[in-house]
Amino acid sequence: MIAASPSVGYISEPFNLEHSRGIFNAATDRWYTAVSERNGGLYEEALRNAINFRYDPVASARSLKDPRGVAKLIFEYSRTCLYRWEGRRALLKDPLALFAAEWIAKKFDAQVLILVRHPAAFVNSLIKARWRHPFSHFLEQPELMAEHLAPFRKEIESLVDGKNDILDEATLLWRATHHTIAKYRQAHPDWVFVRHEDLSRNPVAGFEPIFEHLGIEYTPHAKRTIELYTRQGNPIERTGEPMPPAVRLDSRRNADRWVYRLSHEQIERIRGRSADVWPDFYTSQEWGPRYREEEIACAAQAGTTGAKPLTLPPAAAIIRPQ
């Protein structure tokens, strides 16, 4: 939604293992790569080129897997050139860069925005997508384990074989990431932390202070775009593959769809297993009761929420061109 501003150029998930090498020409071989001064040299030049919209067509061509990639190369190259010519600011959206956020903020003078999500909503999304996290990728990063994930070592080690319940895996992944987010909130009062549910229930008003904080004009066009992509009457959830980066959804009903997609037993399991972290972001009232679908819609229209006020992937960063 921030990319609705014509002053912003959108860069999607450079730390995704399947990222475009034309946009970000650096190898990443682990999900949730941790980046610090120790290994930042592996990524600094590539990220600097990305946020300054310097596309590498040779690297992109070398990574082509089929003829359809040629059209993608041409599109990415043309868009990047346009962004650079227009002098846009780079919007780096990447939840997988969570453990690189402090390095990115320091190295590139980035304004950081982190999006918090309800644990049941997060788990429901991973179950729906059938996405399994390879927990060995955490253990293969000793610095990450020591600095952020030490409290979860035994649990992470127990899930390495990938033969576990996806609900338990997703819950642990939520705890590990949001435990880190809670630490960031204490250490970085200048960062912005926002709950996904709060933005979803009142997106047009909710984005206004974010635009203001980031120094981006909240134009009538941006407001109309946000309204168009989040308004009631849109689909409740994404359908079809592949999923586009931006899709029109009824954001109010989408935010709480976990309430009627998960069973009561599943919700209670997630709640119990994440109880060491979720009170940092949510109240007990935000776990139930399990509403019927139409009741969720009514609650959203009324704007009801027991949310704690917060100022917050990862998971997005506005970076000034250098």
Residue 28 one-letter amino acid:
T
pLDDT at 234: 73
Q: Give the residue among 43, 80, 77, 46 at the shortest CA–CA distance from 61.
A: 77
pLDDT at 65: 83
Is residue 283 within 8 A of residue 306, CB to CB? The reply is yes
What residue spans of the chain are helical by DSSP H? Answer: 44-51, 57-62, 68-86, 101-108, 119-129, 136-139, 142-144, 153-158, 166-187, 196-201, 203-214, 220-230, 251-255, 258-261, 264-273, 293-302
d(CA 53, CA 48): 9
pLDDT at 316: 41
Question: Does the domain made of 2-319 have the CATH classification 3.40.50?
Answer: yes
Q: CA-based Rg of the chain, rounded to a whole angstrom?
A: 20
pLDDT at 46: 96
pLDDT at 310: 43
| pLDDT tens, the chain, 322 aa long | 888 888 999 999 999 999 999 999 999 999 999 999 999 999 999 999 999 999 999 999 998 888 888 999 999 999 999 999 999 999 999 999 999 999 999 999 999 999 999 999 999 999 998 999 999 999 999 999 999 999 999 999 999 987 789 999 999 999 999 999 999 999 999 999 999 999 888 888 989 999 999 999 999 998 888 888 777 777 776 655 444 455 777 677 777 889 888 999 999 999 999 999 999 999 998 997 544 444 444 444 444 334 343 443 334 443 333 3
Q: CA 227 → CA 166, 179, 239, distances in Å?
A: 34, 32, 20
Which residue is associated with the tokens 């119990």?
Answer: 272
Domain ranges of the chain: 2-319
pLDDT at 312: 35
DSSP H/E element including 133:
none
pLDDT at 322: 37
